[in-house]
Structure 1
Amino acid sequence: MNEKYFVLGLPRTGTTSLCVASLDIGLKTAHTAYTQNTIKNAQLIADTPVFNDYEKLYQLFPNAQFIYLEREMSLWLPSIRRLLTRMLPNLIERGGGFNETLKRCFFSTFPELNADKIEDDDYLITCYYSHKVKVTEFLNKTGANNLFVNLANPESNKLLAEFMNVPQINIPHLNKKGKVTAWNEIRHPLKVESTRIGKVDKDALLYNFNK
């Protein structure tokens, strides 16, 4: 398989579940990508930096296909609130905490993020739909092959199988009840690590992947 898929859904829309299913259909898969090697070699990549840097990734991989994951707002809001609350100390820590690519992506998608904004439904809803509008405009402009799908839809397995041209795909329900570590626990020969033994490339997306 030579396909390249980028998953555009925001965190807490089922990205981990789709990544695990991707492994099961034979794709080298990364949930987050912070090195040139990961971006080059993984056939399906989700989360950071994809949900923010999709335009640059499209320039690097113009034949790539895009999967936008949707989720009901009543389910996404409490889930993203728990995640952002947990992440905030490491996001705002200067010179430490999370790597700079992750910080840049989150603060671009969730501008001026702070504890008060995390508790503001209107702020989070605006972030969700602003991201969706930008993604939709990008896909319409480029004509890139894409699928919008909600994994809670009973037809989602069928829609994804058709889009990815495989006989079947089964999406597990992972990271339930606020859990966010399911991907770390996965052991699979096709799993592509996001970092190089914990180290990241400062400008991974500036690499010429076609040389």
Structure 2
Amino acid sequence: MTNQQTKVFVIGLPRTGTTSMSIALLALGYKVAHQGFTQQTFALADAVTDAPCFSDYPYLHQLYPNAKFIYLNRNIDAWVASMQMLLSKMLPHLHPQSGRFHPVMKRSFEACFGVSTCRDPLDEHHLRRCFAYHQQQVYEYFNIKNNELENHQFLEIDVSTPKDMSRLQQFLMANIANNIPNFPHSNQGSDVAGWDEFRHPNKVVSNASGQLRRKYFDYKPMVKPLPWVNTEVNQI
């Protein structure tokens, strides 16, 4: 890690540019995990993006009180269409019992999208409410008021906005030798495998094993149904 003294957590929802941000952080000299499901992954990585950061940021803030948190915003219409595409592929694997995805990932998606409790996780109105609710919770947690959207630990950016790369580097106080002009574009359209296909020596695996094997942190967040979601279990 070059000139960075703290962890970085990217807490934007999936399909807001988390893969593009991960690749940008690699270019800036960070060791990056796109998703982190073990304590060892968090220990090895300078920056962790995507799940479980977008749901667990309050707990990660307690564990790493000096960390920097980056929230990714995106045009809501574009995000909804992209999220519908992603969930259409992921839903069978997010099932609480039979889904093959990691339990931490399933918990994160349940917390933010109610995938097993809403009638239709792909419903446009539901997803719009998920996005707005997550954003509201982030703003409230980091005490973001009156459009003052940044402080020394929190930054909101849009990876489609060219000037935001400069804002990111200033926020991170990134080494000028690693300066990059724009965010890379990854996972465009129906592509969801950009991170897996990208090769870089500073990539950190999401399920790294260490002295505690593949144990996650001890905190156990309660996943409550989203306020507008019927608690009837949706059969995926």
Q: Same fold (TM over 0.5)?
A: yes
Q: Specify the alignment match of 1:187 in structure 2.
A: 199
One-letter identity of the residue aligned with 1:149: I
Q: CA deviation at 1:157?
A: 1.1
Aligned twin of 2:17 = 14
Q: 1:152 aligns with which of 143, 160, 164?
A: 160
Structure having the larger proportion of residues in helix: 1
The secondary structure found in structure 2 opposite 1:62 is coil
Q: How many angstroms apart in 2 are the aligned matches of 1:15 and 1:188?
A: 16
Structure 1 unaligned spans of 5+: none
Q: How many residues align structurally?
A: 203
Which residue of structure 2 aligns with residue 28 of structure 1? Answer: 31
**With structure 2 as the length reference, what TM-score do the two structures score?**
0.80
Residue 131 of structure 2 is matched in structure 1 by 128
Give, in angstroms, the shift of residue 115 of structure 1.
8.7
Instruction: Let me know the Cα RMSD of the aligned residues.
Output: 2.0
Residues 36, 201 of structure 1: 8 Å contact kept: yes
Counterpart of 2:37 in 1: which secondary structure?
coil
Q: Does residue 43 in structure 1 map to residue 46 in structure 2?
A: yes
Aligned to 1:5: 8
Q: Which runs of 5+ in 2 are unaligned?
A: 145-150, 220-236
SS of residue paired to 1:205:
coil
Are the counterparts in 2 of residues 29 and 43 from structure 1 also a CA contact under 8 Å?
Answer: yes
Contact 2:36 2:42 in 1 (8 A): yes
Candidates 156, 161, 166, aligned match of 2:169: 161
How many angstroms apart in 2 are the aligned matches of 1:48 and 1:113? 17
Distance 2:19 2:93 in 1: 21
**Contact conserved, 1:175 with 1:181, CA < 8 A, in 2?**
yes
Matched, 1:87 2:90: yes
Contact 1:4 1:65 in 2 (8 A): yes
Task: Please tell me the residue identity of whatever aligns with 2:158.
Answer: N
Q: Deviations over 1:150-208 (max 9, x none)?
A: 111121111111111123333101011110101011221111110137xx835x1228x
Conserved in 2, the CA contact under 8 Å of 1:88 and 1:114? no
For normalisation by structure 1, the TM-score amounts to 0.89
Is the radius of gyration larger for structure 1 or structure 2? Answer: 2
In the alignment, residue 11 of structure 1 is paired with which amino acid? P
- Aligned CA distance change for structure 1 residues 181 and 68 (closer, same or farther; 3 Å): same
Deviation of the 1:99 alpha carbon = 1.3
* Cross-structure match for 2:189: 177
The alpha-carbon deviation at position 38 of structure 1 amounts to 0.6
1-structure distance, mates of 2:198, 2:208? 17
Identity of matched residues, %: 39
Distance 2:169 2:115 in 1: 38
Q: Tell me what 1:201 maps to.
A: 214
Structure 2 CA distance for partners of 1:89 and 1:179, relative to 1, 3 Å: same
